[in-house]
Each structure stands twice: as structure tokens, then as C-alpha cells.
Structure 1
Amino acid sequence: MHMGTQTESGMEELARSGKLAEKLLKKLDALAGGKVLIIGDCMLDKYVAGSVERISPEAPVPVLKVEREWHLLGGAGNVARNVADLGGKPYLLTVAGEDGAGEMLAGLLRDCRVELGLVRTRERPTTVKTRIIAANQQVCRVDHEDDRPLDGVTLERLGALLAERMAEFPVVIVSDYGKGVVTARLMEMLRAASKSMANPPMIMVDPKTRNYDLYTGVDIITPNTKEAGEGAGMKPVGREGILAAAEALFRRLQLRHLLITLGPEGMALFERKDHALHIPTFAQKVYDVTGAGDTVIATLGLGVASGLSLIESCVLANYAAGIVVGQVGTATANLEQLREAINFLPKPEARLWLNHGEG
């Protein structure tokens, strides 16, 4: 796997002094044109919104009078959209059905300037999540999906596209939503392609709990607190709980790095298992956390692909996440919003949580 970025004491010092933001402002333009390959489960998020004024005479359920419908990219598609909105050049490898939803998905991706390696299949439908909203509250979700693991011709076609293009990208993001694209065989293909390269990409994974063992040996995973605890077989509480969960994940998966997102508490970056830096949140208001994990890994990946250090990329990802949770629905951040946030938000200082030296 990728040799990655070594610990940079100068960057740590800047982060801990709260002055890293100033350095990031000078590097924002470097994100433009950064190349990131994303592979994983893509889905169509459909929203149906309206008002409820009566109960159905057929059953004791509300009747929704539809006033508006719209569609957004979900899963790996939202990761790619985040990369594009930050000025990067994403290449998305994914699977969709030979159906109308698949056509709409492809159209939305093209509209977002995402280069697409799309394998269409008759064997499974495009994943569609329909959210029913009344009075600005979600009242029901309807899922159309087949989440069985990919196999056969579809998987081999996806693997061939991966092998053909992977050498062009300094970062590969695996966006695993548990819908069948990320399988043991796919990860074997990814590892094999990586090992054949003189300069392999950094491989980042946004994990799905049930698939943890597929990620052995990747460069970094980005679970939230709940996912980290599930992967570690414990319920992490407080700083010591996070540190214990991280140690278990390093041991289980032989990771090089680990980033645990902590919701309102920010994130904890483990550059190695004995070195953790806590980065406080930059969010001012939290309206909706939908897609925040996509934003974090997209910004992290684009930052590293553009030459930023791991610490710089994590701080930038924290700013981006703070922007999207202040918006309703699956949102993204752009460069101007990042520049404004870095300029005008307080500069919280990162804290060293753990440092046991090089050993």
C-alpha cells in the first residue's frame, strides 16, 4: 500500500497552536484539478415533500398531498459530487441498473462534472431511497435495492475499469454503503493493482460495519464513533474509549492511519496507533448530518491528492463538514465557503491526545 505522509511535527505544532488555518488559506487553490478515484455504492436519493391535512379513510395513516419532488446523488455519488464541488477531478466507478433511475443517476453525475465509469446491469436495480417529507420532517423512507454482493460479469467489468485507470490517481476512496459493490473480490483486485505500481495511491475507506474485515491493510478508514465502536467490539465513551477503540481497530486491520469523526466533538486523527491529534469541530449550527461522512472523506482525499499533508487535509475536512451540517439535505461545500469559514470562524486549537514516541 501507499507509503503515505510521515508525521510532520511542524504541521502538528501549527494545528495545536490554532495557526494551521492561515496556512490552509494559501493552499486552497491547490485543490483545483486534484484527481481522486472513487469506487463504491452509488444511489439515487429521491425526496417527496408535501403537506398532510387529513387521515386516509382506507387506513389510519396520513395522506400526503405532494407539492415537490427532487433527486440528489447519494453514497459514492455524493462523495464524487463533493470532490467536484471543491474543484477536484473525480472519477467514479460504480454499478447501476438498466432502468430509468440508472439513467437519472448518470445524468446527475454528468451535471456535476463527474467522470463516470458506470457498469450497467440487468441483474439488479439502481438503488433508490425515497424519503417522504411532511412539515419539514421525514415521515417515511422507501428503499428499492438489491444489496447482494456483486459477482460474475458485473464485478469483473468493474475490476477491469479499476485496473485500467487506477495508476492515474494519487488517492482511491472506497465508499462502502453495504449495497454489494464493495466485496472481498473487489478489495483483492484493488490490492493487486496497488501492489503492481511503483507509486501506489493512498487507499481510503468510508467503512460499513459488517464489512470491516475487507479493509485489512488499507491506508486509512474514516468511521464515526458508533462505527468505530462496532468495528472494535466495544462502546467507546469519552477520550479513553475512543483511544481504546482505535487501538483495537489498528490491531484488527493493520491500518497505517485512522480518522474517527466525533460529531459535535470534531475528529480524532491517528497518524499511527500511538499518536492521536484531536481536532475540535468548526460547525456553528447543526441542522442535518446527512452526507457529512461523504464530505469528510471527499475533502480528505482531495487534500492529500493535491499535496496537502494528512493533518492539513483533516483540518480542511473538518471545516467542510461544519459547512454541510449547517444545511438541510445532502449538501456539499465549495472553495468559497471554505475560504469564508477559515477566514471568519474561530480557530480552535487541536490537542495531542496520545504520543508514545516512535515505538
Structure 2
Amino acid sequence: MSREKIHSAITGLAGHKVMIIGDLMLDHYLMGVVERISPEAPVPVVRVESESHLLGGAGNVARNIASLGGASLLVGVVGDDRDGVLLDRMCADAKLVTRLIVDTHRPTTKKTRIIAHNQQVVRVDHEQADAISTDTLDMLMQTVEAEIADYPVVIISDYGKGTVSEEFMRRFMALVDGLSSRPLVLVDPKTANYDRYQGVDLLTPNTKEAGEGAGFPVSGQESVIRAGHALFDRLNCNNLLITLGPDGMALFEGRQTVRHIPTFARKVFDVTGAGDTVIATTALALSAGHDLLTSCTLANYAAGVVVAQVGAAIATPEDLRETVDELPEPVVSGW
């Protein structure tokens, strides 16, 4: 794939539309230092020096699309609480268009990470992970149905926090299959929910998730291909993208064509949010009319940018252009 083609694809991302539906969450960070052990229990005492919040889950997917110049619509559920208000304000500050359903019976999902000396000491989760109620699901589906005709690509961002329930997927797939212009449906999977993703257009598991879905460990080319075929058998999906960490990506364009895209990461500091970046970039490129191989190649460049940063980072078109110019032209091979 030529450097000129990749640059043209990056330029063409601006303004294209993607809908994101899934689990919204706040990533809360408390950063500090440990100077002593607690006299109350054998645990470190962290003296907090700074505090920050980031959009996590489906919100981070939307941030990635916005950073690349895309126009996203973020649909999800929040609680009737201070964290829900904060999440809404953060979306507005990031200039994200949202349709947030407020559920008075469940909290906004928040993950608090306490970090000292660049090491995570503990994580504290505030969440209710059971399926959203029928009333909340009805409101969610009404929102999706009212908006979906304007979006050629939809991302389902499943973090296992209750939004992407079995009933939601049944109703959602029935909705899209009945549209005169059916959008592409991309899913970032949660292993426990695999069987809900029947018939989707693209599934984007990492190696561990692919192995869990296939029922055996995945560690090399042969097992990646076997796992891919097992997932096709299980889910009847149209395409599959297995991210292989430092080994790049395996793109299954249907069952018969498997392509290996090499990694474009120059250095790896933190893989947090890399999956969000991959599915966001792929979806936006597909919305812009690019073929699946080109879209996944762009996603691989974007993932290489974000893993070189700490935290749930994002990539810009300028980041992608710089990376493309600095690295050799990608050699995509058949498997």
C-alpha cells in the first residue's frame, strides 16, 4: 500500500459520520506518592498530588473519532448523579454530540485508579453491570431509531456494563436489517457476550479475546487462523479483525482471505484504549468510503500512535501523517 494512498485516505476522513452505542464510563485518576505504610492495616498510604477525569468506554471511542475529524453521535446510559453530570459536561467540552439516557436506578460507571510512582496501587469501580431495564432500553432504542438513518457505520462498544444486553442486540440487529440502507455494524466485543454478536459486519477482538471466543489459546499464525474460522462458525459475522499487539493485525475479509498487517508502533508505553482507537479509526475510514484493508491499515497506524502515550490517548490526522512519513511503506501479506 503506497504512502500516497494512505495520505489521501487520512485527508478523506474529515466530516464523515459514525454512531457509537455502548457503555459510557468515567476514568478517574488519583496520582500521588507513597511515603509510609498505614498503621491501620499493612497497606500503603497514598498522598494524592493530582486528580483527573477522562472519558472512558464508548466515550473514548467518540473522542478518537472527533480527534480524526469525524462527526460522531454517542448514545449511552448514565446515572442520575454527579458523575453523570460530569460525564455530560466532559462530552460537551470535547464537542461530542450525545444522546444520553438517564437511568435513575443505576449509577454512572466510574473506574478510579489510584497511582503512585507510576504504579497502579488499586482500582475502585462504581458500577452496576446487570442489563439495563426495559424502560431504559425502550428509550435507548427510540433514540437510535430516530437517528440511525443518517449514519452509514455504527460501532457497538461493549464493556460488559449492561447497555449491550442480549435484548438490545436482538432489537438493534432487527432494526438495522429492516432499513432500506443498512449501516455497517462494527463490534468491540466483551468475551462473555460473544453469542450476542450474530451477523455483524466486523468484530475486532484482541488475541486473548479471540482465543476465549474460539475456546483455545491463540499464540501464532496457525492458531490465529483457526480461531478466526471458529468465530465465523460461531457468529456468522461478515469480517473479522484480530489485533495481535506487537505482531500487528490479522484481517479476515470473509472466511477465505486473511491478510497480515504489520505493526506500526515505534515504541509501546501503554496499551490502554488501543482497542477503542482501532475500532474508531476503522469505522470512520469505512464511513469515508475506504475499503476494509485501507481502513484497518489506518487503524493500525493510529494504534501505533496511542500506545506510545500514557493513558487513554487519541491520534490526530497530523499524528498519522507524521507516522506514515517516518516509517517504511507497509507490506501487507497474505496468510
TM-score (norm 1): 0.92
Mapping of residues 109-120 of structure 1, within 5 Å: 109-120=91-102
Task: Say whether the 8 Å CA contact 1:166–1:193 is kept in structure 2.
Answer: no
Residue in structure 1 matched with residue 312 of structure 2 by the alignment: 330
Of residues 26, 42, 47, the one that matches 2:8 is: 26
Residues in 2 aligned to 1:296 and 1:107: alpha-carbon distance in whole angstroms: 25
TM-aligned CA deviation for residue 58 of structure 1: 1.2
Residues in 2 aligned to 1:257 and 1:94: alpha-carbon distance in whole angstroms: 25
Residues in 2 aligned to 1:318 and 1:112: alpha-carbon distance in whole angstroms: 24
Residues in 1 aligned to 2:195 and 2:284: alpha-carbon distance in whole angstroms: 25
Corresponding residue SS for 2:136:
helix
TM-aligned CA deviation for residue 337 of structure 1: 0.4
Residues in 2 aligned to 1:308 and 1:288: alpha-carbon distance in whole angstroms: 29
Residue in structure 2 matched with residue 180 of structure 1 by the alignment: 162
Structure 2 unaligned residues grouped into runs of 5+:
none
Residues in 2 aligned to 1:59 and 1:247: alpha-carbon distance in whole angstroms: 51
Q: Does 1:134 pair with 2:116?
A: yes
Residue in structure 2 matched with residue 106 of structure 1 by the alignment: 88
Residue in structure 1 matched with residue 128 of structure 2 by the alignment: 146
Q: Which amino acid aligns with 2:36?
A: R
Q: Which amino acid aligns with 2:331?
A: E
Q: Does 1:343 pair with 2:317?
A: no
Residues in 1 aligned to 2:232 and 2:102: alpha-carbon distance in whole angstroms: 36
Task: Say whether the 8 Å CA contact 2:9–2:285 is kept in structure 1.
Answer: no
Q: Does 1:70 pair with 2:49?
A: no
Residue in structure 2 matched with residue 165 of structure 1 by the alignment: 147
Q: Does 1:305 pair with 2:300?
A: no
Task: Say whether the 8 Å CA contact 2:10–2:298 is kept in structure 1.
Answer: no
Q: Which amino acid aligns with 2:126?
A: H
Q: Which amino acid aligns with 1:239?
A: Q
Residue in structure 2 matched with residue 4 of structure 1 by the alignment: none
Residue in structure 1 matched with residue 241 of structure 2 by the alignment: 259
Residues in 2 aligned to 1:280 and 1:29: alpha-carbon distance in whole angstroms: 22
Residues in 1 aligned to 2:9 and 2:111: alpha-carbon distance in whole angstroms: 37
Residue in structure 1 matched with residue 303 of structure 2 by the alignment: 321
Of residues 221, 226, 230, the one that matches 2:212 is: 230
Residue in structure 2 matched with residue 85 of structure 1 by the alignment: 67
Residues in 2 aligned to 1:347 and 1:134: alpha-carbon distance in whole angstroms: 40
Residue in structure 2 matched with residue 124 of structure 1 by the alignment: 106
Corresponding residue SS for 1:260:
strand
Corresponding residue SS for 2:12:
helix
Of residues 29, 38, 42, the one that matches 2:24 is: 42
Residues in 2 aligned to 1:90 and 1:112: alpha-carbon distance in whole angstroms: 12
Q: Which amino acid aligns with 1:186?
A: F
Corresponding residue SS for 1:323:
helix
Corresponding residue SS for 2:334:
strand
Residue in structure 1 matched with residue 270 of structure 2 by the alignment: 288
Residues in 2 aligned to 1:117 and 1:221: alpha-carbon distance in whole angstroms: 24
* Larger displacement relative to structure 2 (21-30 or 253-262): 21-30
Q: Which amino acid aligns with 1:177?
A: Y
Identity %: 55
TM-aligned CA deviation for residue 340 of structure 1: 0.7
Residue in structure 1 matched with residue 252 of structure 2 by the alignment: 270
Corresponding residue SS for 1:289:
coil
Q: Which amino acid aligns with 1:301?
A: A
What do residues 120-157 of structure 1 show as CA deviations (whole Å, max 9, x unaligned)? 11110000000000001111100000000112211110
RMSD: 0.8
Residue in structure 2 matched with residue 357 of structure 1 by the alignment: none
Q: Which amino acid aligns with 2:187?
A: V
Residues in 1 aligned to 2:137 and 2:10: alpha-carbon distance in whole angstroms: 37
Task: Say whether the 8 Å CA contact 2:302–2:315 is kept in structure 1.
Answer: yes
TM-aligned CA deviation for residue 222 of structure 1: 0.1
Of residues 78, 82, 103, the one that matches 1:96 is: 78
Residues in 2 aligned to 1:149 and 1:64: alpha-carbon distance in whole angstroms: 35
Corresponding residue SS for 2:29:
strand
Residues in 1 aligned to 2:63 and 2:115: alpha-carbon distance in whole angstroms: 24
Residues in 1 aligned to 2:166 and 2:39: alpha-carbon distance in whole angstroms: 50
TM-aligned CA deviation for residue 187 of structure 1: 1.0
Q: Does 1:206 pair with 2:188?
A: yes
Residues in 1 aligned to 2:255 and 2:178: alpha-carbon distance in whole angstroms: 27
Task: Say whether the 8 Å CA contact 1:171–1:304 is kept in structure 2.
Answer: yes
What do residues 192-223 of structure 1 show as CA deviations (whole Å, max 9, x unaligned)? 22122121100000000000000000111000
Corresponding residue SS for 1:247:
helix
TM-aligned CA deviation for residue 346 of structure 1: 2.3
